[in-house]
Amino acid sequence: MTDIIQLLPDHVANQIAAGEVVQRPASVVKELLENAIDAGATSIKLIVKDAGKTLVQVVDNGKGMSATDARLSFERHATSKIRTANDLFQLNTKGFRGEALASIAAIAHVELKTKQESDDVGSAIVIEGSTIVSQDVVVTPKGTSVAVKNLFFNIPARRNFLKSNTVELRHVIDELHRVALAHPNIGFVMYNNGSESFNLPVSNYRQRIVNIFGNKTNEKLVPVEEDTEILKISGFVVKPEYARKTRGEQFFFVNDRFVKSAYLNHAIVSAFDGLLKSGTHPSYFLNLTVDPQSIDINIHPTKTEIKFDDEHTLYALLRSAVKHSLGQFNIAPILDFERDSSLDTPYNYGKNAKVPTIEVDRSFNPFKEEAQSQARAAAFKRESTAGWENLYVGLESKGTKTHQNLSQVEFESEESTGTLFGDNKTVDKINTTYQLHNKYIVSAIKSGMLVIDQYRAHQRILYEDFLKNMTLKEAASQHLLFPLQLHFSTQDVDIIKQLKTDLEHTGFIFSNVSEELVEIIGVPVSVPESEVSIILEQLVCDVENQIPEAHFSATDLLAKSMAKSLAIKTGQSLQKDEQEHLLNRLFACKEPNVSPSNRKTFITMSVDELDKKFF
């Protein structure tokens, strides 16, 4: 029998390894930024074209590399960070495997320029698909510049799996945020298609957060500080009233490395217990410093997951620290419910209370004013009763006619208020619907029984309404008494600007959309003012994660997002007429069978199926 196992060629092995490390342009950004930080750079420039599909370039002012090191850096498992296996548990650097540059060079065109401060000239290397095209001497400033062009040029199938430019750019920006938040002592500049997107100067941690997420963020932050032998915690949590519907602003950094940990996130949620509205998530920016020997960061190719030696202790310390900070800054409720915080004074107020004095008006006579008022009342009575006999003239002849006209008098009735769906008609017939657990609407049909999911059904109704309004551009708006000012980050405002025209077709009226501020003076008739910020926040999240491709319109996405935000939720009680109104509106839709997300809106059960349940 012949042998069937054989070694893979190097170029195939490199492409397989690249699949683990490089998933999208954002993966390249992450690896190159981390290499620049490990090189001791104090200023890093990120240049992106076409969301990184055409170009990702990182320029730093670090220590650079020699000609030999520049060549070896593209070999697999070539690294300056570790020498023995024990070094894996004492890591203080970002990269250590020596896989990043080799994996990137296997699936892209790479140009590297680097120079050490002590050298007069630097080195330039050009690699295409793991093949070295050239290596020359070049004049270049101190530091390193790595340009990655035409990502996945030799793996078309992988390139086809990339999302739209807006989605990929969002992932690139997320990676920049994660690196920049972990290193406020380094300046970052980002250029997207030739224009400057971010300019983050060297600053403290709080200022770095504000520079990224907007000036309004400053008033939302609550500092968290805790220093123990096991764990040092520093950073900020966001006040509960600013909790978001999405998990976008949740950042854990362990030894200046961004990590994802559902276990530690649960500790934060537990600390906010009782302070958050249903369906919202806390935001936080927390740095955890632990002994490198107590963690293992080599359990995942992207190094975003970490294994801790003693997770239970970290959980308890983190939960306690956050809870203490919320209570210390009067965010959490206090035990003394009779105490009025508005009466608090500083400890060193420095002023003594003055004894009140009593002043008496000895010339005051209360009877003098009363006598004057009685005289005025008597004079008014004499004037008003003069000529009272004239009031009865002619009543004898008109008395009969007056009594006859009383039967024709119409009385004004009170106006009845509208219901949830605006249908004021009362149903004077046998109830044909029933609401089950405030979630399903049950109705009898000829063949058996109909069960409707009220949330999905209302989504379908609103979705088709919004889609019709945006297509015909006939949406009605209600003007607000006072303009509504909403604050968003710069990148969120950019998304709202892109969707502004479609939003106006649904009924929104914008008076100002600036760098971090969105001012609204009109909203759709069906949208309450309190829901506007939630709708726009959910819309931005949906656009970031589900940007439409060429076959998928932004109008459709906008209609789906708004329908999802405004639909009646599970748990909301409906009156009988509202239930029937919902049922009738659903079956008047073009596609009543499924919700906008292609999930069933109702099911039917025949009488035969019910009979079988009793056998």
**Whole-angstrom Cα distance, residue 58 to residue 144?**
8
Residue 92 near residue 255 (C-beta atoms within 8 A): yes
**Whole-angstrom Cα distance, residue 460 to residue 562?**
11
**Whole-angstrom Cα distance, residue 20 to residue 12?**
13
**Whole-angstrom Cα distance, residue 521 to residue 478?**
9
Q: Where are the domains of the chain?
A: 10-202, 209-328, 433-604
Sequence letter at residue 606: S
Q: Over the stretch 52-85, which tens digit does the pLDDT of each residue have? A: 999 999 999 999 888 888 888 888 766 666 656 5
Q: Over the stretch 276-306, which tens digit does the pLDDT of each residue have? A: 887 788 999 999 998 888 877 766 666 677 7
3-state secondary structure of 38: helix
Would you list the DSSP string of 159-185? HHT---HHHHHHHHHHHHHHHHHH-TT
- pLDDT, residue 61, reads 92
The token pair at 172 is 């690139």
Angle at 272 between CA 270 and CA 277, to 5 degrees: 115
Place of tokens 């044909």: 432
The token pair at 564 is 């999802």
For the chain, list residues with pLDDT below 50: 345, 347-348, 402, 406, 413-419, 422-430, 547-551
**Whole-angstrom Cα distance, residue 506 to residue 473?**
7
**Whole-angstrom Cα distance, residue 570 to residue 393?**
70
For residue 592, the 8-state DSSP code is: T
For residue 573, the 8-state DSSP code is: -
334's CB contacts (< 8 A; 6+ apart) are 327
The β-bridge partners of 127 are 110, 132
Sequence letter at residue 156: P
> Any idea of the CA torsion for 317, 320, 325, 331, to the nearest 10 degrees?
150
Sequence letter at residue 203: S
Strand pairing class (43-49; 55-60): antiparallel
Nearest to 568 by CA among 463, 425, 457, 418: 457
Pick the CATH number of 433-604 from 3.40.190.10, 3.30.1370.100, 3.40.50.300, 3.50.50.60: 3.30.1370.100
Sequence letter at residue 381: K
Fold match flag (10-202 vs 433-604)? no
**Whole-angstrom Cα distance, residue 581 to residue 203?**
57
Strand pairing class (187-192; 43-49): parallel
- pLDDT, residue 560, reads 83
- pLDDT, residue 127, reads 92
User: What CATH number was assigned to the domain covering residues 209-328?
Assistant: 3.30.230.10
The pTM for the full model equals 0.67
- Homologous superfamily (CATH) for 10-202: Histidine kinase-like ATPase, C-terminal domain (3.30.565.10)
